[in-house]
Amino acid sequence: MIKFSQVLFLLNAVWTLTRGDADVFCQLGQSCILPCSFQAGDEAVIHWIQQPELTKKQVHSFYHNKDQLDQQDARFKNRTSLFHDQISKGNASLRLTGVMLEDEGRYMCYSSILAGKEEFFVNLKVYAPVQDVNIQHLGNEIICSSDGIYPEPALFWTPDQTDQKIRLTQTEQKLYSIRSSVPSADSMDVTCTVSTPAGSRRATLESTVHENILGTETSISCSNLTPFTMYIWRFNHSEEMVRGTPQGPHSPTEKWQQHIVESSLEKLTLKQLQPNLTGIYTCEVWSDQETSVKSFFLHVTEGKVRSRSMKGLSRQKLIFLFFLSQIII
Ligand SMILES: *[C@@H]1O[C@H](CO)[C@@H](O)[C@H](O)[C@H]1NC(C)=O
Ligand SMILES: *[C@@H]1O[C@H](CO)[C@@H](O)[C@H](O)[C@H]1NC(C)=O
Ligand SMILES: *[C@@H]1O[C@H](CO)[C@@H](O)[C@H](O)[C@H]1NC(C)=O
Ligand SMILES: *[C@@H]1O[C@H](CO)[C@@H](O)[C@H](O)[C@H]1NC(C)=O
């Protein structure tokens, strides 16, 4: 029986063309095309070989006008194909499905026709993009985290945080998780960005305080991130109240139906405020590129409002008066 390596050796040709490496980035789990073209001719032979140093693995072979997969490495079974209708035009590109991290590495595309042979190299690099960045207030820390990333991600805060703790871990599947915590300060707006060479996502945490009287109605509004793909209003960071898509809001969860008058991305209106509605309301909005998280602390009090928003109002009034007086002067 002729071994696969011997097949390569036996192929004697008139000229040999060797070209440099091309980098190809493939997303984990998706399909990907490894490009290769050759000078079209009769009796085309194509071998795709993965070359981890010494042990060459046969990825896909084609000769005698059909695929020859007897010697194909088990890892590539059912995952490779050539564009058969394009081979006569000199296209030896390989389609690889279900890309895995083990697929990373250097591949040789060997092709020959009667007149000569060609070697072309492709460096396959796998990436798992940052899908989701979570940001939340926990005790007196703000925590930002993201999972399932490859290659190693970087994380940074805006404004810059000098006192951050950062932890990078890797799962058995080699995917990275990153987590960073910073001390929280009053009414601090922070953005956390997680990035890899393949792209980045960020999440913003904004905090404000609302105080309201028992039995009244109140509305809180979320940032308007457009175009968005989904939003979720949550209570005390975990409990989902209601979510929506660009098509409109879904109905609130059973528990929250009795408290919600209306909900949308822009506005959440709560009725008949009672003490157990005191807590943190968070609005999370996703777009293709980023996640925005805005949280509100709602304090339901009995009697008169001694609220920061009122203080804010009176401050605004003062500033307004100040401007007026300036204009008058
Ligand atoms: C080969 O054909 C495929 C499918 O039509 C195409 O996507 C690819 O770009 C072609 N590659 C080359 C090198 O021509
Ligand atoms: C390849 O596909 C065939 C038919 O779809 C299936 O029976 C076989 O189990 C698959 N082999 C592997 C290794 O996935
Ligand atoms: C608040 O208390 C009422 C009963 O007084 C209860 O029906 C409701 O589920 C509670 N709401 C929350 C958010 O805990
Ligand atoms: C929600 O969180 C606030 C502040 O942390 C707490 O005072 C309140 O008891 C929590 N409410 C519920 C229903 O867990």
pLDDT of residue 317: 29
**Cβ 68 vs Cβ 7: under 8 Å:** no
The region of weakest confidence among 46-50, 121-125, 209-213 is 209-213
Q: Which residues, other chains included, contact 103 with Cβ-Cβ below 8 Å and sequence gap of 6+?
A: 26, 50, 96, 124, 126
Percent of the chain residues past pLDDT 90, beyond the cut? 46
pLDDT of residue 154: 96
Q: For residue range 164-184, what is the model confidence (pLDDT) as tens digits?
A: 899 999 999 899 999 999 998
Is residue 323 over pLDDT 50?
Answer: no
Which of the pair, 10 or 300, is modelled with greater confidence?
300
291, β-bridge pairs: 203, 286
Does the CB atom of residue 280 touch ligand 4 within 6 A? yes
What distance in angstroms lies between residue 78's CA and the mean position of ligand 2's atoms?
6
Is residue 90 over pLDDT 80?
Answer: yes
Choose the CATH number for 16-127 among 3.20.20.70, 3.40.50.300, 2.60.40.420, 2.60.40.10.
2.60.40.10
- Calculate mean pLDDT across residues 144-160: 94
Does the CB atom of residue 236 touch ligand 4 within 6 A? yes
**What ligand 2 atom has the least distance to the C-alpha of 74?**
13
DSSP H or E stretch at residue 200: strand 199-213
Q: For residue range 262-292, what is the model confidence (pLDDT) as tens digits?
A: 888 778 999 989 889 998 888 888 887 777 7
CB atoms under 10 Å from CB of 173, counted, come to 11
Is residue 78 over pLDDT 80?
Answer: yes
Nearest CA to ligand 2 atom 8: 78
- Calculate mean pLDDT across residues 32-57: 90
Does the CB atom of residue 326 touch ligand 4 within 6 A? no
Placement of tokens 């696969």 in the chain: 4
> In the CATH hierarchy, which top-level class contains the domain 134-328?
mainly beta
HSE toward the beta carbon, residue 35, CA cutoff 13 A = 7
Under the banding of pLDDT at 50, 70 and 90, the label for residue 132 is confident
Does the CB atom of residue 73 touch ligand 2 within 6 A? no
pLDDT of residue 309: 39
pLDDT of residue 326: 29
Under the banding of pLDDT at 50, 70 and 90, the label for residue 17 is confident
What distance in angstroms lies between residue 125's CA and the mean position of ligand 2's atoms?
26
- Taking CB atoms within 8 Å and a gap of at least 24, the contacts of 10-18 are 11/45, 11/112, 11/117, 13/112, 13/115, 13/116, 13/117, 14/115, 14/116, 15/115, 15/116, 15/117, 16/116, 16/117, 16/118, 16/119, 17/116, 17/117, 17/118, 17/119, 18/118, 18/119, 18/120
Which of the pair, 5 or 187, is modelled with greater confidence?
187
- Give the number of whichever ligand sits closest to the CA of residue 253: 3
CB atoms under 10 Å from CB of 268, counted, come to 25
What distance in angstroms lies between residue 297's CA and the mean position of ligand 4's atoms?
10
Mean pLDDT of the chain: 83
Does the CB atom of residue 162 touch ligand 4 within 6 A? no
Does the CB atom of residue 297 touch ligand 4 within 6 A? no
pLDDT of residue 219: 87
What distance in angstroms lies between residue 24's CA and the mean position of ligand 1's atoms?
14
User: What is the rounded CA–CA span in Å between residue 29 and residue 170?
Assistant: 18
User: What is the rounded CA–CA span in Å between residue 208 and residue 309?
Assistant: 9
Q: For residue range 115-126, what is the model confidence (pLDDT) as tens digits?
A: 889 999 999 999
User: What is the rounded CA–CA span in Å between residue 241 and residue 255?
Assistant: 8
**Cβ 17 vs Cβ 9: under 8 Å:** no
pLDDT of residue 51: 85
User: What is the rounded CA–CA span in Å between residue 257 and residue 305?
Assistant: 26
User: Where in the sequence of the chain do the CATH 2.60.40.10 domains occur?
Assistant: 16-127, 134-328
pLDDT of residue 195: 92
**What ligand 2 atom has the least distance to the C-alpha of 78?**
1
pLDDT of residue 115: 86
Does the CB atom of residue 77 touch ligand 2 within 6 A? yes
What distance in angstroms lies between residue 281's CA and the mean position of ligand 4's atoms?
10
